[in-house]
Amino acid sequence: MNANKALWEKGDFTRIAASMRESGEALVGDLGVSNGLQVLDLGCGDGTTALPAAQLGADVLGVDIASNLVAAGNARAQDLGLDNCRFQVGDASDLHELSDEQFDLVVSIFGAMFAPKPFDAAKEMVRVTKPGGRIVMGNWIPNDPTLVAQILKISSAYSPPPPDGFVSPMTWGVETSVTERFVAAGVPAQKVAFARDTFVFNFRGTPAEYVGRFRDYYGPTMNAFEAAQKNGRTAELQRQLEELFQAKNTSPRKDMTSIPATFLRVTVTV
Ligand SMILES: C[S@@+](CC[C@H](N)C(=O)[O-])C[C@H]1O[C@@H](n2cnc3c(N)ncnc32)[C@H](O)[C@@H]1O
């Protein structure tokens, strides 16, 4: 049983991804994607960034560990009539099905950061990128005051401690750790660049309803609620998350939730 795969196949991440489309599209619009560019979207989910890249003319392969999300991505590509975008199951830590130097651009937006062996993931991203190509990662930042690090902070107080040897995905939001991983993969440190960027979650509904979406469909939050329930603390977790979502909501509309979240944008020139 692969716990990493089980976590992301749990629930239905497409129900969260639906609130991430605008920022995904904007991010891709900023990457200089052109006709025929060979793009790998790693940890692609149901195609929030893969599909806009294909709409800009790139040949896109989406790889994700969760087979339900791969199926959802292929269905979305088909609905949009995009025959230059396909999705397949794979693990960012071991991309044995992909060739060396296959892609001009490897994109991984809140994707490869969740692979359990970060040094292997960096090595694989470098291996499949053509010389002169780029790797662009979006990574959440530990202890950041905006949404995602705070969800994690609240949830972890209700969850059992991680197993020995577990490396937090959030370490991909620490510049020194990211540099160390790419240097170990053979990239000079000066070819690893960092910028702070913002991703906006837009949800049609109230902040409390948005918390419900995470509780019912987002694997990591579902696990936190299961752990909280065992200790009779479900209501407390619900209340803390609702307070967080309400505090971070910037939408003036009562029927909309809009929450900006800061992330670390990593650009590696291979
Ligand atoms: C937060 S979601 C982001 C999905 C997508 N990039 C987006 O922006 O909507 C994290 C994604 O990483 C995938 N993932 C987690 N571990 C992975 C691994 N080891 N290899 C490939 N994908 C992985 C999950 O299945 C999930 O689709």
The DSSP output letter for 264 is E
Could you identify the atom of ligand 1 that is nearest to the CA of residue 116? 19
Q: Given pLDDT bands bounded at 50, 70 and 90, which one contains residue 51?
A: very high
pLDDT value at 15 more than 90: yes
Pocket of ligand 1 (CB under 6 A): 4, 8, 13, 17, 20, 24, 43-45, 48-49, 64-66, 69, 91-93, 109-111, 114-115
Q: Supply the pLDDT for residue 247.
A: 97
Residue to probe by mutation, ligand 1, list 2, 4, 7, 8, most atoms within 8 Å of CB: 8
Find the 131 Cα to ligand 1 centroid distance in Å: 25
Find the 232 Cα to ligand 1 centroid distance in Å: 30
Nearest CA to ligand 1 atom 26: 45
* Model confidence, pTM: 0.96
pLDDT value at 1 more than 80: no
Helix/strand/coil (H, E, C) string of 136-196?
Answer: EEEEECCCCCCHHHHHHHHHHCCCCCCCCCCCCHHHHHCHHHHHHHHHHCCCCHHHEEEEE
Nearest CA to ligand 1 atom 6: 44
Could you identify the atom of ligand 1 that is nearest to the CA of residue 20? 9
Give the pLDDT confidence of 109-157 residue by residue, as tens digits.
999 999 999 999 999 999 999 999 999 999 999 999 999 999 999 999 9
- Answer for the pair 170, 138: CB distance below 8 angstroms, yes or no: no
Q: Supply the pLDDT for residue 177.
A: 98
Percent of the chain with pLDDT over 90: 96
DSSP code per residue over 104-145? EEEEEESSGGGSS-HHHHHHHHHHTEEEEEEEEEEEE-TT-S
Q: How many residues does the chain have?
A: 270
Give the pLDDT confidence of 149-204 residue by residue, as tens digits.
999 999 999 988 888 889 999 999 999 999 999 999 999 999 999 999 999 999 99
Residue 79, amino acid:
D
Residue 89 neighbours by CB distance under 10 Å: 15
